Amino acid sequence: MGLFSSRIKHFFSPEENQRIVAAIREAERLTSGEIRIYVESHCRFVNPVDRAVELFYGLKMEKTELRNGVLLYVAIRDHQLAIFGDEGIHKKVGDRFWREEVNHILSEFNAAHFCEGIIQIVTEVGAALREHFPFDAHTDKNELPDEIVFGK
Q: Which CATH number is 34's domain given?
A: 3.10.310.50
Which of 64, 80, 84, 62 shows the shortest CA–CA distance to 72? 84
Q: What is the mean pLDDT of the chain?
A: 90
79 — alpha (psi -120 to 50), left (phi > 0) or beta?
A: left
- Spans in the chain with pLDDT lower than 70: 1-10
The predicted structure's pLDDT at residue 95? 95
Number of domains in the chain: 1
The predicted structure's pLDDT at residue 10? 62
Alpha-carbon distance of 59 to 96, in angstroms, equals: 25
Domain-located, residue 110 = yes
Alpha-carbon distance of 86 to 1, in angstroms, equals: 26
Q: Which domain holds residue 19?
A: 14-134
| pLDDT tens, position by position, 81-112 | 999 999 999 999 999 999 999 999 999 999 98
- Beta bridge partners, 37, equal 72
Domain-located, residue 36 = yes
| pLDDT tens, position by position, 62-71 | 999 999 999 9
